[in-house]
Chains A and B, each alone.
Chain A
Amino acid sequence: MRVRRVAWLATVLAGCVDQTTAPGVCPTFCPSGQIDVVDTVLAASIARDSTFRGYVLPHQAGAMTASDVPGVVDSRAILRTSALVSGLALNTGDTTTSPLVGADSMKLTLTITRRDTTAHNLTVRLYRLPITIDSTTTFADLRGAFADPTDSLRAVNVDALLAKPGGVDSATGDQAAIDTTSKFLKVTVKLDSLQAPYVSGDSGKLGIGVRIGADAPTSVGFCTRENACGASLAWFVKVDSIKGTDTTLIHKQLAAVTLFDSYVFDPPIPPVDSTLAVGGAPSARSIMRITLPRAIRDSSQIIRGTLLLVPAVPARGAPVDSFVVEAHTVASDFGAKSPLVLDATRTDTTMIRVGKTDTVRVEVTNLLQFWVADSTRPEVLMLRSQEEAARPTEIRFYPSAAAPYRPALRITYARRFPFGVP
């Protein structure tokens, strides 16, 4: 009985659910109105465009680039480690500390976020740099410190290290491993007390430079402290126990981090000119003001929008230095200081290939739909590199002043459907 009732109820409910969708044979058995789609290029809709540089400096970037592309770019990572404590309490409850008197060795771990796997025998060389390096240090300032490869503290062939069982070189104490989650490559280099001496006058601080090389021109990205995965150090230090006449040396391990990391490169980025630059270090952004025709903005639905940009010069660097350019809109138009709308659903991107001069197409459908949906938003578009200042590579486009190659907007939109007409 209960089953019968449930079946009856199910039948009744099924009958109440409408099924009204039928294939249309148009125009005979379709409504008179049809969806009208238009595709057009708005050649003169972008104006008042300009470039500003200095948003993110190399030492503020989420990565630092070391590259070796002869004749194109030479880039080196630099870092300064934190100071060590001057003394250690050897036992629990000790009210006095025992001083550090030296170091046995030190292990430096670097995290490589990207590398060119087609360039074999990737070699990482470490150099001793002055601890005075800072954000104003240039490639030229350190030219001497990096002058001779034989002056390097250590050189590690990463590919050879990875090929060893477990990625460990038991002779040198070096180690390499790929993080299974992030896919980052962690390289640990062991330095002895001569290569990484404990200088009490410097409180144990070290300046270290990283240069790379391979069988072919290559480029590598190292993670930085700004990205919470900067270089880390493990010191193995000697501590004087100071117990009466007992001056036994006790060996302890101390952790340290980098307080400063950046990179220097040559040749330097040329100054901003009349072109629209995006990327580089310090990072450059280009701003564009767009005027959508009222007919499109007010009563149409945009289904695809493509920003067409013609490179004035190709992006320079290693092929692996290709980078992503993001197109954002801004909350308010304050020129260079316009705050970006950082919303993933309102951001459009494209990949910039190094060395290519093809027209760059950025799909900006999300942004155009955003402006159409909210007419109070400024129709301003800001182009920036996705990883600002993380690499020296930049692209330069022709501005709106260069009429034949000016930026243009290709829009595909649907006109308002003629509702209300039988």
Chain B
Amino acid sequence: MTARRVDPKGLPCGRGWTGRVLLGAAVLLSAGTPVRLSAQDSQFGVRGLGTPGRFETARARSTGGAFGPFDALSPLTEASLGDLQQLAATAMGGTSYRQADVAGGTASLRATRFPVMGLAGPVFGRLVLSGGFTTYLDRTWDVTRRDSLLLRGTMRPYVDELSSDGGVTDLRFAAALRVSARFALGAAVHVLSGSTRETAGRTFDDTTYHAIRQNDETRYDGLGISGSLLVDPLPALRLSLFARSDNRLRARLGDVVTAETNLPNTFGAGLRWAPSPSVRLAGTVGRRTWADAGAGAFNTVSWSAGLEVDAGFAPFRVGARGGQLPFGAGPTAPTEVGFAAGTGRAFARGRALVDVGLEHLRRTGAGLSERVWTFLLGFSVRP
């Protein structure tokens, strides 16, 4: 009987053809330019800057995001990178099925996104460096509208279609240092970059009026910094504090700046308790000052709570989250609640990890409600 190496998380390690395939896939996903690097979008984001992304891997998101500040590969905080002892790469994909109820009608929407990709590893002793992409704002939507217009003395019915495809990506360069067994800190620079292909079209019922079709590409840029620390006041208790400040999002058409929007500051804290080696509980709360973005934007507070149990063959994760969305039509911010569950499996003697999860969200705001089911799939490799 061959002995199997086991990593600190209890996942079997190994090397084989399966592992090499998974490693190759993950490296390709990490190294390539993301085709569609976006989070799951929302109709609430159409009017505002977009739908903010979640800085969480599939593993953290399966716990409602509660383990985000403690997951080394989740780009929410940097200090957790200090726990990383070897090179690791991660990528995540998700397919959402969304139902939007608005003005008495229902629209069924579907989107596949790859919101997180990253690479991290120790370089000098206890210093860990990381780089990767995350969705900062998703600006993918397509709305149609039927109306009519008085032209040449006659009402002319038409259908408008306005769409945007793309978003703003957060390119993060992070460093973390485990100062002592009980204390780690980290910092990061965030380069916000991205573009949206926007189209505006109108088709008249009367074909004497030719269809209108205009399109352009809007580019975005911005900058941010963040810092975080991890403190273990007790052996089973870990506290995470994190903060982030982004300056402004500049939109350009060609060389012309068309808009400058202030971006929020973020403050948050998380607490993880491990009553036993195989059971972990966590909770996170965060606040983002989105109201700086202008009219129709609100400051948001979000919370999450989750549980992770290493149940032998595969871990079991479950969590709930709630909070507010930054953009909405009414006098108050739309709200969001949801739950998630998931599991994972190690391959190639623990060098490749596959995490799967299922998330359900319900968003409610003035005049609109959304129900979202998202299937999450994450790859992590540790060559």
Known A-B contacts A30-B162, A35-B212; A25 and B258 likewise in contact (beta carbons under 8 Å): no
Q: For residue A18, which residues in chain B have a CB less than 8 angstroms away from its CB?
A: 110-112, 140
> In the assembled complex, how far is the CB of residue A350 from the closest CB belonging to chain B, in whole angstroms?
13
**When each residue 287-300 of chain B gets 1 if its CB lies under 8 Å from chain A and 0 otherwise, what string results?**
00000000000000
> In the assembled complex, how far is the CB of residue B111 from the closest CB belonging to chain A, in whole angstroms?
5
Bound-complex Cα distance A17 to B95 (A) = 10
**When each residue 2-31 of chain B gets 1 if its CB lies under 8 Å from chain A and 0 otherwise, what string results?**
000000000000000000000000000000
Q: Is A422 an interface residue (CB 8 A)?
A: yes
Bound-complex Cα distance A422 to B294 (A) = 10
> In the assembled complex, how far is the CB of residue A221 from the closest CB belonging to chain B, in whole angstroms?
30
Q: Is A29 an interface residue (CB 8 A)?
A: yes
Interface residues of B (CB under 8 A from A): 41, 43-44, 46-50, 95, 100, 102-103, 105, 107-112, 140-145, 149, 151-152, 160-165, 198, 200, 202, 204, 208-216, 218, 251-253, 258-259, 261, 329, 366-368, 375
Known A-B contacts A369-B210, A414-B202, A420-B253; A25 and B103 likewise in contact (beta carbons under 8 Å): yes
> In the assembled complex, how far is the CB of residue B169 from the closest CB belonging to chain A, in whole angstroms?
16
Q: Evaluate contact between A412 and B152: CB separation under 8 angstroms.
A: yes
Q: Evaluate contact between B102 and A23: CB separation under 8 angstroms.
A: yes
Q: Evaluate contact between B211 and A24: CB separation under 8 angstroms.
A: no
Q: Evaluate contact between B209 and A412: CB separation under 8 angstroms.
A: yes
Q: Evaluate contact between A22 and B251: CB separation under 8 angstroms.
A: no
Q: Is A44 an interface residue (CB 8 A)?
A: no
List A residues 6-64 near B (Cβ within 8 Å): 15-33, 35, 37, 39
Bound-complex Cα distance A118 to B246 (A) = 81
> In the assembled complex, how far is the CB of residue B43 from the closest CB belonging to chain A, in whole angstroms?
5
Complex partner residue of B163 from A20, A27, A32, A35, CB under 8 angstroms: A20
Q: For residue A23, which residues in chain B have a CB less than 8 angstroms away from its CB?
A: 102-103, 105, 107, 143-145
Known A-B contacts A23-B143, A29-B46, A303-B211; A422 and B251 likewise in contact (beta carbons under 8 Å): yes
Q: Evaluate contact between B143 and A419: CB separation under 8 angstroms.
A: no
Known A-B contacts A24-B144, A25-B103, A421-B259; A16 and B112 likewise in contact (beta carbons under 8 Å): yes
Q: For residue A26, which residues in chain B have a CB less than 8 angstroms away from its CB?
A: 143, 145
Q: Evaluate contact between B110 and A17: CB separation under 8 angstroms.
A: yes
Q: Evaluate contact between A420 and B103: CB separation under 8 angstroms.
A: no
Q: Which of B43, B144, B149 has the most CB of A within 10 A?
A: B43
Bound-complex Cα distance A365 to B218 (A) = 29
Interface residues of A (CB under 8 A from B): 15-33, 35, 37, 39, 301-304, 363, 365, 369, 410, 412, 414, 416-422
19 new A-B pairs (CB below 8 Å) besides A15-B95, A25-B367, A31-B47? A21-B142, A21-B144, A22-B102, A22-B144, A24-B162, A26-B143, A28-B329, A29-B46, A35-B200, A35-B212, A301-B212, A302-B210, A303-B209, A304-B208, A365-B210, A417-B200, A420-B253, A420-B259, A421-B259
Q: For residue A21, which residues in chain B have a CB less than 8 angstroms away from its CB?
A: 107, 109, 142-144, 161, 163
Please give me the residue from chain A that is nearest to B140 by CB atom: A20
Bound-complex Cα distance A419 to B252 (A) = 9
Q: Evaluate contact between B162 and A37: CB separation under 8 angstroms.
A: no
